[in-house]
Structure 1
């Protein structure tokens, strides 16, 4: 009896790497099919990976019914395969800085624009100051806010990349951190003061409620940008640590 069971198990067909045609009829969503297809590519014809890929496909099929994505479960096909590269591990250690200069610059510029708009909106709304196109609108002028936010985004991104752990594992010295941070903030603050002298013709002061509306729009833009790029961390969010460190 035992021998017959063993014979049956040995005769059971072993899983094979799924083909594109098989994925198309698997019931998986297009994104999940692409996720599995990437895993098959990473397997590089190694049939011993077929069982793992089959199990991942089954989990994705169940998870998609509740709206859980492959990225939420496994993050990437390489991680699902256990093939995370050294470059990816290095990026994890760099955290927020791993997203690159311009994505971080845009991320921070939107964040600064949102905060300045909200701050000046509340101040103007409760101070009773009316919008004006005469004289100087100061730092609260819309052009001043835009320029300050853009420059702040660029500086903050540059500082983040400069102070991030190096890929070779060496740490940035304390003095370099201090000089870069203080220097960047000083230049940004001087620029902020300089923008305040822009003539009201090109730097009008808007009503407080308009700034608040702009702040809400900027917040929605910030959320969209983060969803699009997957950026986590920065001064508006705790940085996600690698799972290997969460123990």
Structure 2
């Protein structure tokens, strides 16, 4: 099992695209939503009498729950991935253990300050970190964010997304239609998702063919 966290500003679209692509590659995927934004919840159709606070909701090859599941439930995902949305609040996730945490931030000052505060006050020092900076207008914005959040050690990787109408429109469609489609996102979004999926697949089994398929899955008819 590979467990990946997302802490900071909204990343529901990124989480869905990663989960959707892994599911296309036949890996079991569980999305654990510990945020309070409601963004993921509004994409996952629950149906009558289903409560994702108490049980895993299964929808279009994705599995979704709004609490940390127990060992018995997690056993189904031992050969797959668990994607955790923390929002702006880090919390204990035992029995799960993060392989790494994606710090997600944009150039707004209040967001940078909030994320920096979480990292300094509540985030354990032994967690491997990656940085995702989204909605930048220029390379200067990327440098501003990197300097403002002042990470104690260099992140393992830094990814960035420009403010792109394609990504905005596609994320909006995800919520409105309760479906996940990656065909119309920006090239940078595809690159980010491909990188995340490749890393997860390589950690799961090191299968070279599967890693190659991760790239193919985000091109042309491979997704949707």
TM-score where L is the length of structure 1: 0.18
Higher strand share: 2
Structure number, greater radius of gyration: 1
